[in-house]
Amino acid sequence: MARMSGVRADAVAKVPNFEEIRTAGAAIRDRVLSNLDAYLFQFEQAAQARGVIVHWAETGTDVNRIVRDIAQQNGVKKIIKSKSMLGEESSLNHYLQEAGLDVRETDLGEYILQISGETPSHIIAPAIHKSKEDVGELFERVHQMPRKHTIPEMCREARMMLRPHFLSADMGISGANFLIAETGSVVIVTNEGNGRMTTTMPRIHVAITGIEKVIPTLEDLSVLLRLLTRSATGQATSNYISMLTGVRGPNDSDGPEQMHVVIVDNHRTELLASDMREALRCIRCGACMNHCPVYEVIGGHTYGWVYPGPIGSVLTPSYVGLEKAGELPNASTLCGACAVVCPVKIPLPDLMRKLREKSFERKLRPASERLSMRLWGYVAARPKLYALATKLGARMLQWMGGEDKLIHKLPGGLKEWTNGRDMPAPSGKTFRELYAEKKAVGK
């Protein structure tokens, strides 16, 4: 991830007023969220005027059913898919395959995961956890072709394997980076070109997207694109930005005959109503995970659901329930790097703190943790008692460290800490004591 954060920093440094653009980006997203009903209504009107069929889905199950029905009513057999995080939310591929449909992922990373039966570990680079040897071995086994050893050879082979599917598929499913209320358009940002293929070649295009993805105008799109691509991959622009508005005209030689947009709630209105609304500003760039020290160490799969990293720690408990994902807001050091790089200024550490408070209030944390927090809170609120307690604690830890100044075994519930390593013993004095000494010397 060091590379990802480096390229972002370089790209941002080239724009002297990036901060001003960031502020404008956050304001655009907030404006939409506070008038979301009106913007969605305008989008629907404009899209319908161009022949788009607009569907509304309240849950992931509804999304799956709607897409399956479109496929079955149109005699669809083969579906190609470009990346959609919403499809991951509802396990759309699995559902469509159960319904007897042939579904192919086409984003290279997603394709690798599909043929190896895995899920994404990053929203922009989904197969980032796999090495080129892993991919070479996988391709050899699945494609039944001679082993490839370089990445360009592997990409060429994937292109060759997927091209026939692009040309023979009846339906293309995509996500949407943005919906534009002004024009009724769906905007898709890709580098590989699979998004263009998916929305150009098959006779039916279905875009699935969350209610929060709508933005007002083409000018607002320009602002958000400048933020998105720099934050995601350090590019001033992505290779392909496609703005799709309606179906092919009578004399067009390409483009879908049917275009469907499925607008999905799936717990987003709950987030909108809560004190965590800012999370819905997210434009899915992945910068927060690229800069997260915890993500860097534990990897994307550890987050347990669709969205990893800091934004996942906020969205997942909100979408699947704090009871099931209460650990996630704690998977952070609250170092604040995510908030610094977020292109739409989502205060991610604050939101994680709110979730921690909620899980404490709802008694979702273990009794021992709640008790120790209470105890700490009691002592910390009384400066004299706090000074005494830390003084005693520091002395005791120093004593436990002994000759080699290492604690080999901590007592009771803390023993897990020292199972695989030693804890360096402190000096025996508290910070406050040291500070007082320094100050005295200074005089």
114 near another protein (CB under 8 A): no
Nearest to 17 by CA among 226, 233, 232, 278: 226
Q: Say if residues 391 and 433 touch (Cβ distance below 8 Å).
A: yes
Measured at the alpha carbon of residue 265, what is the angle toward residues 268 and 67, in degrees to the nearest 5?
145
Rounded least distance, CB 434 to another protein, Å: 44
Listed in sequence order, the residues at least 6 apart from 134 whose beta carbon sits closer than 8 Å to its beta carbon are: none
Nearer to another protein, 17 or 73 (CB): 17
Q: Does 154 bind another protein (CB under 8 A)?
A: yes
- Length in residues, the chain: 443
Q: Does 152 bind another protein (CB under 8 A)?
A: yes
The window from 91-99, 127-135, 349-357, 383-391 that contacts another protein (CB under 8 A) reads 127-135
Contact between 21 and another protein per CB under 8 A: yes
- Burial class (CB within 10 angstroms; exposed 0-12, middle 13-18, buried 19+) of 437: exposed
The only residue of 87, 126, 310, 326 in contact with another protein, by rule CB under 8 A:
126
Contact between 138 and another protein per CB under 8 A: no
Task: Rule CB under 8 A: choose which of 68, 104, 226, 291 binds another protein.
Answer: 226
Pairing of strands 406-407, 423-424: antiparallel
Tokens matching residue 231:
């934050």
Residues 387-416 that bind another protein (CB under 8 A): none
**Interaction of residue 140 with another protein, rule CB under 8 A:** no
106 binds another protein, rule: CB under 8 A? yes
Sign of the torsion formed by the C-alpha atoms of 263, 316, 243 and 112: negative
Tell me the sheet residues that pair with 261: 54, 207
Q: How far is the CB of 132 from another protein (least distance, A)?
A: 5
User: Does 2 engage in binding with another protein (CB under 8 A)?
Assistant: no
| Contact window for another protein (CB under 8 A) among 31-39, 303-311, 379-387, 407-415 | 31-39
Measured distance CA(409)–CA(370) in Å, rounded = 24
DSSP string, 113-160: HHHHT---SSSSSTTTT--HHHHHHHHHHHH--PPP-SHHHHHHHHHH
Of 72, 74, 97, 239, the one binding another protein (CB under 8 A) is 239
Query: Does the footprint of another protein cover residue 288 (CB under 8 A)?
Result: no
What part of residues 178-207 is at the interface with another protein (CB under 8 A)? 181-183, 185, 191-194, 196-197, 199-201
Binding of another protein by 258 (CB under 8 A): no
Residue 158 within binding range of another protein, rule CB under 8 A: yes
56 interacts with another protein by CB under 8 A: yes
Residue selected from 13, 73, 144, 253 as contacting another protein according to rule CB under 8 A: 253
Question: Between residues 247 and 287, which has the closer beta carbon with respect to another protein?
Answer: 247
Q: Considering the complex, what minimum distance in angstroms separates the CB of residue 71 from another protein?
A: 19
Tell me: does residue 217 bind another protein (CB under 8 A): yes
Does 11 bind another protein (CB under 8 A)? Our answer is no
Q: Which of 99, 155, 334, 387 binds another protein (CB under 8 A)?
A: 155
From the number of C-beta atoms within 10 Å of its C-beta (0-12, 13-18, 19+), residue 334 rates as: middle
∠ CA 410-415-418, rounded to 5° = 75
Per-state percent for the chain, helix, strand, coil, to nearest 5: 55, 10, 30
Q: Are 237 and 189 in contact (CB under 8 A)?
A: no
